[in-house]
Amino acid sequence: MDQARIADLRRTYRDGLLEDTLPFWIEHCVDREFGGFMMSLDRDGSVIDTDKGVWQQARFTWLLGELYNNVERRGEWLELAMHGASFLDNHCFDPTDGRMWFHVTRQGEPIRKRRYAFSECFAAIAYGELYQATGNSEFADKATNAFERFVQHNLAPQGVQPKFTDVRPTKSLGFPMMTIVTAQELRGAIDFPQANEWIERSIQTIERDFLKPDLQCVMETVGQGGQILDHFDGRLLNPGHAIEGAWFIMHEGHLRGRRDWVSLGCQMLDWSWHRGWDAEYGGILYFVDMRGLPVQEYWHDMKFWWPQNEAIIATLLAYHLTGEAKYAHWHQLAHDWAYQHFPDPEKGEWYGYLHRDGRLSSRLKGNLWKGPFHMPRMQLNCWKILDQMQLR
């Protein structure tokens, strides 16, 4: 990757973040009447559902704080982050058990809580940024509490009926992955003392139970002891998700000087790239079966925005950390395909949902699942990686 390409990519990510993604959301999603953010946006940014997803409230709050802390001390970003945190505080926790909701009305009345506790991860990192931005220790306490609730609920759920019986107990890649990235964020933001311990334990779990060298793949769901469950759900691979986990681990290896973790992350990327990259049409497929059998999920062959975001980060970081030419090549493939198919130059931001061949499936710009998170995180991370590469 030559310096001209690096400078060009850096401009694409940086300008995309600051001049497209961020203005699109700030212009359209801020609810000045009831607080928080309305993220269910049509192509042109018009609100088509006033309900609020708790993940997206917390994620946008995190992003704004992250930008304030790491890019520029813009008052608007801090004000909006505080606006998001107020809505979290006032409407996103269930006072009866302290757990967080998943979906609330515009006014903040609860609609749905999930069995799992990922809202808590996103709240933790949002509060962490606000501590870093303001020095107010209440935010650090809230961040710690949210993280602890996340891990406690995942390790020993209380007060929820499990989705499955205990006949075939499973565990998912999502929990150790989210533990890693949340602990990484809190280590940076609030100097969270248990961060390294949680991260090490989670990397060990992933390596021991989810990586299958004989099959050359990263499992999404395994038995409690890491065994493969030869059923639809057990064989289901989510390559974009494993690629996201890959760069969390590479990043940790880089920060901590653990080359073995960099290699582990690269291994996860390599296997998942071979499983998930669509050699026929380009882009990362959503789901594939471990043995190439049909998948039960209907959208298995669609191209969602976020696996492409994660693949762009992971390949660029792998190239940065190893210098291997194949990663520069994969980065170019992933970047070029995504930028050819997802952006909406007329109305801004990216579409989220394409068919396998890159045709548009939905013109939605946001919903309970898509908001200002994977895209701007990719833009910010890649910009910062490219800054490092320019310095070499």
User: Site residues (CB under 8 A) for a second copy?
Assistant: 40, 42-43, 48-51, 105, 109-113, 160-161, 163-165, 167-168, 231-232, 293-296, 298-302, 353, 355, 361-364, 367-368
Closest distance of CB 228 from a second copy, Å: 13
Q: Smallest gap, in angstroms, from Cβ of residue 72 to a second copy?
A: 34
> Least distance from C-beta 361 to a second copy, angstroms?
6
Q: For residues 266 and 354, which CB has a smaller minimum distance to a second copy in the complex? A: 354
* Beta strands 217-218 and 211-212, pairing class: antiparallel
124 versus 236: smaller Cβ distance to a second copy: 236
Query: How far is the CA of 207 from the CAs of 26, 204, 310, in angstroms?
Result: 39, 5, 20
DSSP assignments along 234-300, one per residue: HHEE-HHHHHHHHHHHHHHHHHHT-HHHHHHHHHHHHHHHHHHB-TTT-SB-S-EETTSPPPSSTTT
Comparison of 75 and 294: residue with beta carbon closer to a second copy: 294
- Nearest-Å Rg of the Cα atoms of the chain is 20
Min dist. Cβ of residue 281 to a second copy (A): 12
Q: How far is the CB of 131 from a second copy (least distance, A)?
A: 31
The DSSP annotation for 183-241 comes to HHHHHHHH--TTHHHHHHHHHHHIIIIIEETTTTEE-SEEETTS----SHHHHEE-HHH
Q: Quote the least distance from Cβ 16 to a second copy, whole Å.
A: 23
Q: How far apart are CA 162 and CA 31, in angstroms?
A: 35
Sign of the alpha-carbon dihedral angle for 90, 92, 97, 99: negative
Query: Would you say 13 or 306 has its CB closer to a second copy?
Result: 306
Token representation of residue 54: 């708790």
Q: Which is nearer to a second copy, 34 or 299 (CB)?
A: 299
| C-alpha closest to that of 288 among 334, 236, 243, 242 | 236
Cβ-based nearer residue to a second copy, 168 or 329: 168
Least separation in angstroms between residue 290's CB and a second copy is 11
Q: Which is nearer to a second copy, 53 or 376 (CB)?
A: 53
Identify the three-state secondary structure at position 312. Answer: helix
